[in-house]
């Protein structure tokens, strides 16, 4: 399980999570939790906004989507904070929206994808002062799928797209049946089939997965299809499984990718 947000914030205040860098890391970021009264979803949703020290004005914005059954605050681990602090002035503002178990796409469960594009991003920009022309989207597991899906649906909107252990499924798989509301819903968001024709992305794309993750075959296939399409793709297979220890080990690399792509 991820640590409770209060425990993480206490660790941050004490300077936990050393960066291992020769330069002194930036001061801890501001972590703000707030309620977004979503008109699209018809209910309040609870968001977390992480703003680097010095404020968010003019910085890139990273919208980072959580995995299935997680919460926005689960992403605010010491490893995440250390990775953000070591970037200093290059660090993005990070918006962590609530996504429940909706798989971050519009379906019978609700317009989760539209909610990110039309409500989450505008409110994050207003609250932080981040640069509206430098918005990235990334995520873990279910959120990795969501980021890759939103990145193709709104390719002009994002300066970078990242899927970390993305929950990408083959047609007819158990995962596809579990995550989507039938064949028609899956077909509209079948990233593997869509990538066979041409890359839907205009910005740099990152995909990584653990070498013992059950999602590795589909992630590898998607990366290969995108590479064949000529996409600007960075693909990594590192030791690990589908869990928080794997993601924590690589948060610094994730954040560095977004900072470089949107810098």
Here the CATH number for the domain that contains residue 62 is 3.40.50.1820
Domain range enclosing 85: 30-261
Q: Please name the residue ranges forming H helices in 65-215.
A: 78-86, 112-115, 121-128, 142-153, 174-179, 183-188, 191-195
Contact (Cβ atoms closer than 8 angstroms) between residue 79 and residue 251: yes
Return the axis-axis angle of helices 251-261 and 78-86, rounded to nearest 10°: 40
Taking the alpha carbons of 122, 126, 130, 131 in that order, is the dihedral positive or negative?
positive
Total domain count, the chain: 1
In a domain, 20, yes or no: no
What local confidence, expressed as pLDDT, does residue 24 receive?
80
Q: What is the reported pLDDT for 176?
A: 87
Residue 10 located in a structural domain: no
pLDDT value at position 130?
A: 98
Residue 7 lies in a domain: no
pLDDT at 3: 41
d(CA 147, CA 63): 9
pLDDT for residue 6: 42
Start-to-end CA distance of the chain, whole Å, equals 33
What string of pLDDT tens digits covers the 263 residues of the chain? 344 444 344 333 334 333 334 468 899 999 999 999 999 999 999 999 999 999 999 999 999 999 999 999 999 999 999 999 999 999 999 999 999 999 999 998 899 999 999 999 999 999 999 999 999 999 999 999 999 999 999 999 999 999 999 999 999 898 888 889 899 999 999 999 999 989 999 999 999 999 999 999 999 999 999 999 999 999 999 999 999 999 999 999 999 999 999 99
Residue 18 within a domain? no
For residue 99, tell me if it sits in a domain.
Answer: yes
Token pair of 50 as six digits: 């992480």
Quick check: is 11 in a domain? no
Q: Say which residue the tokens 């979803």 belong to.
A: 41
The reported pTM is 0.91
Look at residue 16 and tell me if it is in a domain. no
Give the span between the Cα atoms of 101 and 70, in whole angstroms. Answer: 8
The C-alpha atoms of residue 263 and residue 59 are separated, in whole angstroms, by 9
Residue 25: predicted pLDDT:
83
Q: Give CA–CA dist 92/57, Å, rounded.
A: 10
**Strands 106-107 vs 93-96: parallel, antiparallel or unpaired:** unpaired
203-236 pLDDT, tens digit per residue, is: 999 999 999 999 999 999 999 999 999 999 999 9
Q: What is the pLDDT of residue 46?
A: 97
Query: Does residue 168 form part of some domain?
Result: yes
pLDDT of residue 111: 97
Q: Let me know if 24 is exposed, middle or buried by CB neighbors in 10 A (0-12, 13-18, 19+).
A: exposed
């Amino acid at each position: 399980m991820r640590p409770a947000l209060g425990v993480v914030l206490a660790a941050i205040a004490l300077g936990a999570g050393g960066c291992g860098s020769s330069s002194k890391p930036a001061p801890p970021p501001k972590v703000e939790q707030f309620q977004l009264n979503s008109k699209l979803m018809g209910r309040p949703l609870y968001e977390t906004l992480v703003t680097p020290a010095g404020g968010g004005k003019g910085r890139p914005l990273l919208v980072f989507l959580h995995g299935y059954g997680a919460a926005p605050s689960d992403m605010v681990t010491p490893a995440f904070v250390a990775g953000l602090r070591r970037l200093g002035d290059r660090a993005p503002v990070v918006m962590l929206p609530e996504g429940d178990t909706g798989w971050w796409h519009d379906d019978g469960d609700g317009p989760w994808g539209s909610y990110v594009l039309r409500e989450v991003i505008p409110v994050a920009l207003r609250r932080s002062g981040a640069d509206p022309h430098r918005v990235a989207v990334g995520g873990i597991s279910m959120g990795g799928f969501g980021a890759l899906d939103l990145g193709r649906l709104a390719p002009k909107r994002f300066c970078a797209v990242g899927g970390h252990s993305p929950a990408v499924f083959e047609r007819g798989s158990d995962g596809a049946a579990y995550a989507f509301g039938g064949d028609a819903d899956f077909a509209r968001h079948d990233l593997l089939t869509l990538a066979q024709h041409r890359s839907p992305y205009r910005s740099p794309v990152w995909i990584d997965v653990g070498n013992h993750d059950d999602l590795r075959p589909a992630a590898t296939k998607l990366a290969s299809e995108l590479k064949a399409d000529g996409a600007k793709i960075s693909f990594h297979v590192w030791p690990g499984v589908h869990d928080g220890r794997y993601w924590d080990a690589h948060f610094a690399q994730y954040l560095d990718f977004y900072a470089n792509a949107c810098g």
